[in-house]
Amino acid sequence: MQRDSRISMICVGDELLDGSIRDLNMRTLGSVLVDHGLKLDSSKVIRDGVDLISEALEKAVGIVVVSGGLGPTQDDVTRDGAAAWAGVQLAEDRESLETLRRRFEERNYPFTDNNRRQAFFPVGADILPNPRGSAPGFKLKVAGTTAYFFPGVPSEFQAFCETHLAPELAQGTGVRTRLYFHGLGESQLETRLDGIEALAKELGSRVGYRADYPEIEVKLAADSDEALESAVAFVESKIGLYAIGRDDEDISTRVGRLLMEQGATVTTAESCTAGGIAAKITDISGSSSWFEQGFVTYSNAAKHALIGVSNQTLERYGAVSAQVVTQMAAGARERAGATHALAVSGIAGPGGGTAEKPVGTVHFGLASPEGVYHQLIHFRVRTRERIRAGTVYSALAMLLWRLDGQSEHPNVRGPFAVEDVNTPEGITIETDA
């Protein structure tokens, strides 16, 4: 396959256009192509219909991957559309028929005439066995166009891409990486990275962004490792402090790796996130090695009873304060006997805001062997959901900063003794603008 040959996709199915299900296959194909240094030029979603399918195929140039419409039901007419496009008949394939029959017998499913249809293919098609299911796919060449027909079931579609498409794709691909950040908005990020486009051009590398609150992803691609790493170095010199992960190492994985390496453990004391931080820390398998327990202390009574926050402090400063959140961290660390403890207390809204503590005000505490750290963040994001999601990420990012042993932070203060904590200024994180 030429690197410059055009590649497009056709997704077939009423259910995709009626909002019944979400299409997952375009993303799968896109990733497979990117991994091979290729690009999906465009994708089209059409309804089940012989004419619609053959017309869409007429318009395709180069390589086209067709997803869906190969099932056993009457409205699965992709094979008929393919035959119409190629101007050939459908013919039954004995071998496929036997395989299908056997598969159904093994499962004691009734083998209906509908199922039998799945053994019919346009004359001249290469039949592609299904690595994950029963119905085969096929490949058909007409004039300058090569069309691959894969089942729409996401797990089967992916298996077909890997088994029957990827091996035929170009190998020469170049290198790429994805860097994940948290704590700045998309346009803020672009401003800080001003000049990277120029650098990228100079290096022959490529840059892309993706804002997926509360994460921002920076995608870098280049033709050599050197070019790629210089681009990475540039990005990290500008916004490294906001880094939360790279490639397959997301924030939870990175937190876990560092805790493992340091033989450390962590516990949590959560008010406004009410368990979200603990759930995030444990969203990778094996997290029991660094996380044993966490405290969800939503009420003041619970903050006092479970992790020993002083009622006097609660009364004097309020639950959403530097003093309380650092006592929460210190208390949780002691109760759990963990190396580090993360605590958050904030106003997630929509109710509960006041003039001096508006919705989005969140205090963060981190208790570590050397003392407690604190930061205050004002989340200027639209919804309770986003304030809580941002708080989870900022808490994990605060722990990452400590585990990385970074010395300078624009917002985190400490280490202090708990009794020395006072009320500070905070920064604002806005990710919705």
Of residues 217-256, those binding a second copy (CB under 8 A): 217, 219
Is position 133 an interface residue for a second copy (rule: CB under 8 A)? yes
Is position 205 an interface residue for a second copy (rule: CB under 8 A)? no
Is position 358 an interface residue for a second copy (rule: CB under 8 A)? no
- Report phi then psi at 23, rounded to 5: -75, 125
Applying CB under 8 A, among 158, 205, 268, 411 the residue interacting with a second copy is: 268
User: 189: helix, coil or strand?
Assistant: helix
Cα 149 to Cα 116, 134, 157, 263: the distances in Å are: 18, 14, 9, 51
Beta strands at 215-222 and 137-142: parallel, antiparallel or unpaired: unpaired
Single-letter code of the amino acid located at 269: A
Stretch that binds a second copy, among 82-90, 222-230, 378-386, 395-403 (CB under 8 A): 378-386
Is position 103 an interface residue for a second copy (rule: CB under 8 A)? yes
Is position 262 an interface residue for a second copy (rule: CB under 8 A)? no
CA–CA distance, 283 with 132 (Å, rounded to integer): 27
Is position 102 an interface residue for a second copy (rule: CB under 8 A)? no
Stretch that binds a second copy, among 120-128, 181-189, 243-251, 255-263 (CB under 8 A): 181-189
CA–CA distance, 111 with 100 (Å, rounded to integer): 8
Is position 32 an interface residue for a second copy (rule: CB under 8 A)? yes
Q: Which residues, numbered 332-351, are part of the site for a second copy (CB under 8 A)?
A: 336, 348-351
Q: Which residues, numbered 82-101, are part of the site for a second copy (CB under 8 A)?
A: none
Stretch that binds a second copy, among 35-43, 164-172, 366-374, 402-410 (CB under 8 A): 35-43
Applying CB under 8 A, among 112, 224, 311, 354 the residue interacting with a second copy is: 112
- Interface size with a second copy, residues (CB under 8 A): 110
Question: Omega into 350 within 30° of 0, i.e. cis?
Answer: yes
Is position 420 an interface residue for a second copy (rule: CB under 8 A)? no
Which DSSP string do the residues of 356-418 spell out, in sequence order? SS-TTEEEEEEEETTEEEEEEEEE--SSHHHHHHHHHHHHHHHHHHHHTT----SS-EEEE-G
Residues 6+ apart with CB under 8 A from 19: none
Applying CB under 8 A, among 91, 279, 310, 413 the residue interacting with a second copy is: 279
